[in-house]
Structure 1
């Protein structure tokens, strides 16, 4: 007997192309690469499937599969054929099953990291990606990050979120949502089957107390609108770009980040409109902001102060590792300098909404559009194609006038409104 179980006859004849018959349909096929002259030897079985045609099945390379093993494989294939099972189909099904089992062995952490990598291009900023990664790393991976994603069940999900559900409800809710997203992602890609154990509606809502019952909603601290004219007078008296940025944010009822990232290329001074691109908006849609006279005055002051900047509110630092605009803390620090630690910059959007609802006759939807709020009524949102720019222009002009009013005139307007 020669190397790898081949007979002396096979070894002698396997130096030139051809087929050597071992018996019962098992053959040794020899081929030679015409370019490299490499000799290749492989086991082949010819077998007739019951009631079907003759099939030729590759059993592997003779360099890797000894003759004895080739004969065993041939015997197993002939048994399948006698039972009417195509050995090639059976082999392919077995390979697919092994591949599926290997895929399902992916851990929850591997799936989460793959989901984050596939979605991060669509996320607005690196902070969102970091929040995803940090919450999973802190609350989920220690519990079941290294377990196969297929094995994640309700008990494991509860073990991750229940300890913080009552004490850190908002965080726990986001963790649950992210677990649910990862498991959905894994299911779509065939890494797991069955119901999503992190689903809330009709599922975990029956096992955990509702957020509304254990979490007090904390609204952004807002200034009563009657006090706004006096506040604005004090703010206008302050110097510095941060004060102008806060003033502009209040006059336009925009979010802090929308104001701080404003570019001159977004602003049409002639049309008195600021067009914020969708990628900088919370709802992901372009938002046109009518600019009242007071807001235009702020813009003129900033243009005069920084004539060469592409940013309306540029940062003072020249370091390349810092944002080119004012810090996200700039508006809050301005409020602290005014000794108004009871307020937040975002809270002035609530001040605007309260004023619009109580002091004007503008429809609710106009005020909501001024704040770039997404309509909760999906049907109404589907039919509303315009953004009521001209109506909002009148609203914002009235808001600018109110912000510039004296305390006395603001009280008179309020009294007239309440008696009217």
Structure 2
């Protein structure tokens, strides 16, 4: 143990591994490149773990690191595998912090080249920015669940069934992409089959909202003349200019609410 000294280590010129003891070696390479190596055996094979360059990690620090690694070996832990697991945990923690808005931007950026045209990319951006991002844009993709998806879809599922269906499909695609990227795990909460189909009516069964056709501007004087001849307060209210609350109450023949109280 402790075969090297800081001065002796600095004077070694011969390439190769130079033992300090306890599995710690100074590795000298071409161009006088120097680094610290910890050598050990695990599962019947020899392994080498880099501890850093000698110009950054001094001899004393390298010995402390080697001591901690020998303690891991006493517990049956492979230091290299333990470091890999720690790095993966850190990577997953960073990935899990990615928000839905960030995932959408990256998904569109990477897939734009494969889409038919710029209009398709614009539709993706517009629908998700209009309907999804105000609700779940700031949420980490790792924490998005079925309730979040329903909060996006329920307000538009009946009146805008086609748009809502596309929004659902696009959310599903983004979350699938996030899963593959390691940003989330588990089932996709935006999937339709066996999941949202149990919570929302199928698009084909949603009754389309039929709106009354708007009257042509040129026909408006004729319409108003006919309306003025109709009996009842309904026709009178419709023919009046856009009223304030008080005028509208009067047109219905209702009394004003007492002062300080809102009308029903």
Query: Normalising to structure 1: TM-score of the pair?
Result: 0.43
CA 1:124–1:41: 2 relative to 1, 3 Å: closer
For 1:112 and 1:212, the matched residues in 2 are separated by: 28
Higher relative contact order (CA 8 A, sep 6+): 1
CA 1:63–1:124: 2 relative to 1, 3 Å: same
Q: Which residue of 1 aligns with 2:11?
A: 13
The reply on whether 1:46 has 2:39 as its aligned counterpart is yes
Q: Which residue of 2 aligns with 1:191?
A: 183
Residue 22 of structure 1 and its aligned partner are, at CA, apart by 3.4
Residue 212 of structure 1 and its aligned partner are, at CA, apart by 5.1
- Provide Cα deviations, 1:177-208, integer angstroms capped at 9, x if missing partner: 21112112222344322111012232223333
The reply on whether 1:58 has 2:50 as its aligned counterpart is yes
Residue 24 of structure 1 and its aligned partner are, at CA, apart by 1.7
For 2:63 and 2:164, the matched residues in 1 are separated by: 60
Q: Which residue of 1 aligns with 2:243?
A: none
Q: Which residue of 1 aligns with 2:227?
A: none
For 1:30 and 1:8, the matched residues in 2 are separated by: 14
CA 1:65–1:156: 2 relative to 1, 3 Å: farther
> What's the secondary structure of 1:173's corresponding residue?
helix
> What's the secondary structure of 1:22's corresponding residue?
strand
Q: Which residue of 1 aligns with 2:98?
A: 106
For 2:114 and 2:24, the matched residues in 1 are separated by: 56
Query: Normalising to structure 2: TM-score of the pair?
Result: 0.64
Contact map agreement 1:16 1:32 (CA 8 A) in 2: no
RMSD of the TM alignment (CA)? Answer: 3.3
- Provide Cα deviations, 1:75-97, integer angstroms capped at 9, x if missing partner: 23223333444322333343344
- Provide Cα deviations, 1:72-122, integer angstroms capped at 9, x if missing partner: 321232233334443223333433443344344433233323333344344
CA 1:124–1:18: 2 relative to 1, 3 Å: closer
> What's the secondary structure of 2:139's corresponding residue?
coil
The reply on whether 1:152 has 2:136 as its aligned counterpart is no
Q: Which runs of 5+ in 1 are unaligned?
A: 1-5, 34-38, 219-420
The reply on whether 1:89 has 2:81 as its aligned counterpart is yes
Q: Which residue of 2 aligns with 1:163?
A: 155
CA 1:54–1:171: 2 relative to 1, 3 Å: closer
> What's the secondary structure of 1:112's corresponding residue?
helix
Contact map agreement 2:159 2:208 (CA 8 A) in 1: no
For 1:47 and 1:10, the matched residues in 2 are separated by: 24
- Give the one of 73, 79, 98 matched to 2:65: 73
- Provide Cα deviations, 1:17-60, integer angstroms capped at 9, x if missing partner: 56554332222223341xxxxx32211122233x6244332111
Residue 126 of structure 1 and its aligned partner are, at CA, apart by 2.1
- Give the one of 23, 26, 29 matched to 1:25: 23
